[in-house]
Amino acid sequence: MKGNKGAMRKDLWPMRLNKYIAYAGICSRRKAEELVKRGQIKVNDVIVKIPFIEITQNDTVKFKDQIITPTKKFVYILLNKPKNYISTVSDEKNRNSILDLIKENSDERLYPVGRLDRNTTGLILLTNDGHLAQKLSHPRNSVSKIYKVWLDKKTTQEILIKFQKGAQLEDGYLKPDALNYSEINDPREVLIEIHSGKNRVVRRYFEHFGFTVEKLDRVYYAGLTKKNISRGRYRHLTPDEVRNLKHLGK
């Protein structure tokens, strides 16, 4: 991991260890706490298990016996994910990963925010900003997501009203922020807006009502849309977009 501690703003020092690891692009602050508690981080060649100790510019931090340093360049990429790509960094089955679609040289390690399952398409954010990744993933910040859903059966206004009321799933109650038809001429297509980030929650929601989701596409994420991003392509966020993401939940 390339970096220069001296290039970081002076007011960031001293820095808590979990924040240091996140700024090095290794993972989010929450995951960094786990790495430290498992004894996978060394400070000045000594294993530490306290995530909140303070690091100074003179300390050396290692992960997997490699020196890590906070990055001075954060990268924010918005990708329109195709089907049959997984949104994890590594995969023991050697399947296609969304990282394979990023066609540019970078020394930064990118991680997905707001993961999508293999068969779901649409917007996903990749970044090396562990602090922002944690913020967008935390339930209290209520990051809004809109999905276009293709169902296996036609719906009616009566069914649509049931969809809008919410349902008790095995891992908690879900009530859509908004739900309506996507196309007036096709009652199998609906748009659903939620802020939950639970695993396969949209598919499970419609299964609760006896419907199967045949196709699922995330068309909106935290104020970002797919405009001018064709399937399998991506773009870098603008400074204003990054600023808006960082102010979510404030």
Domain of residue 159, CATH code:
3.30.2350.10
- Of the residues 68, 95, 122, which one is the last residue of a structural domain? 68
Specify the range with the lowest mean pLDDT, choosing from 22-26, 85-89, 176-180, 199-203.
22-26
- Note whether 81 and 18 are same-domain residues: no
**Is residue 207 pLDDT above 70, yes or no?**
yes
Query: Which CATH number fits the domain that encloses residue 32?
Result: 3.10.290.10
- Note whether 58 and 160 are same-domain residues: no
- Note whether 131 and 188 are same-domain residues: no
Beta strands in the chain (DSSP E): 15-16, 41-43, 46-47, 54-55, 61-63, 66-68, 76-81, 111-113, 121-127, 145-151, 167-169, 172-174, 178-183, 186-194, 213-221, 224-225, 234-236
The answer to whether residue 226 sits within a structural domain is no
Given a contact cutoff of 8 angstroms between Cβ atoms, the answer to whether 56 and 17 are in contact is: no
Summarize the confidence of residues 186-204 as an average pLDDT: 93
CA-nearest of 153, 217, 148 to 188 is 153
- Distance separating alpha carbons of residues 4 and 69, to the nearest angstrom: 6
CA-nearest of 88, 125, 138 to 223 is 125
* This prediction's pTM: 0.76
Token representation of residue 90 = 């590594």
Domains identified in the chain, total number: 3
Q: Mind listing the pLDDT tens digit for each residue in 143-185?
A: 999 999 999 999 999 999 999 999 999 999 999 999 999 977 7
**Is residue 11 pLDDT above 90, yes or no?**
no
The answer to whether residue 97 sits within a structural domain is yes
The pLDDT of residue 6: 45
The answer to whether residue 96 sits within a structural domain is yes
Range of the domain at 201: 144-221
- Note whether 15 and 122 are same-domain residues: no
The pLDDT of residue 27: 79
- Note whether 58 and 159 are same-domain residues: no
For strands 167-169 and 15-16, give the pairing.
unpaired
- Note whether 98 and 51 are same-domain residues: no
Given a contact cutoff of 8 angstroms between Cβ atoms, the answer to whether 85 and 122 are in contact is: no
The answer to whether residue 64 sits within a structural domain is yes
The answer to whether residue 162 sits within a structural domain is yes
Active site residues: 117
Which carries the bigger pLDDT value, residue 135 or residue 170?
Answer: 170
Residue 165: DSSP 8-state? H
- Note whether 134 and 148 are same-domain residues: no
Token representation of residue 193 = 């807006």
- Note whether 135 and 235 are same-domain residues: yes
